[in-house]
Amino acid sequence: MTNIVDLPKLSNPPHVTTRIPRADRASIERLGAFSAATIHEAQGRRGAVASRIKPIDAGMSFVGSAFTVVCAPRDNLMLQVAIHYAQPGDVLIVSAGELTDAGTFGGVLGNACKAKGIAALVTDSGVRDTKELRELGLPVFSGSVSIRGTVKETLGHINQPLVFGGELIRPGDVVKGDVDGVVVVRREEVDDVVALSADRDAKEEELIELYKQGRTTIDLCNLHDVLRQKGITTDLDDIDPYQGLGAR
For residue range 4-40, what is the model confidence (pLDDT) as tens digits? 445 455 558 999 999 999 999 999 999 999 999 999 9
* Between 28 and 240, residue with greater pLDDT: 28
> Could you tell me the pTM of the whole model?
0.90
Percent of the chain predicted with pLDDT > 90: 82
* pLDDT tens figures, 210-237: 999 998 898 888 888 888 889 888 888 8
Is 64 a residue whose pLDDT tops 50?
Answer: yes
Average pLDDT over residues 107-114: 98
Is 3 a residue whose pLDDT tops 50?
Answer: no
Eight-state DSSP code of residue 143 = S
Is 141 a residue whose pLDDT tops 70?
Answer: yes
67-90 burial, b at 16+ Cβ within 10 Å, e below that, comes to: bbbbbbebbbbbbebbbeebeebb
Q: Of 66, 57, 80, 68, which is closest to residue 186 (Cα–Cα)?
A: 66
Confirm if 23 and 187 have CB atoms less than 8 A apart. yes
Confirm if 179 and 59 have CB atoms less than 8 A apart. yes
